Structure 1
Amino acid sequence: MGFGDLKSPAGLQVLNDYLADKSYIEGYVPSQADVAVFEAVSGPPPADLCHALRWYNHIKSYEKEKAR
């Protein structure tokens, strides 16, 4: 799935729309696809992009696991 420039409002909107009925980028558990998209996003999406922000905060919560 291509989202375009995830640092632009348009790219974030595409990501938000994609995540409207999904928890992860691919499948039913966090994957390398989530890591790649997370790293491409410059920071938390704005609050009006609620699906992207939910996903962002969820994936960010795994940083503690990665640090081990």
Structure 2
Amino acid sequence: MALMRKDVGLANTLAEQLDLHLPLSSFVGQQWHKSIATIPDNEDFNYIVTQTDESLFSRGE
């Protein structure tokens, strides 16, 4: 998670430096930043899916 958070942050910083308005990238960056409070740095980056709508990753149980 830590490396992906860093990479997402770098991408958003670059977009800002290039004066690009990328709403989806900004939203993704916010989601990754929010995950700091709930997902440890040592988790696999795919764990981010748990921050989304449960119906997207549940097995219907």
**TM-score normalised to the size of structure 1?**
0.30
- Highest CA radius of gyration, 1 or 2? 2
Structure with the larger RCO, 1 or 2 (CA within 8 Å, 6+ apart): 2
Q: Indicate the structure with greater helix content.
A: 2
Q: TM-score, normalised by structure 2?
A: 0.31
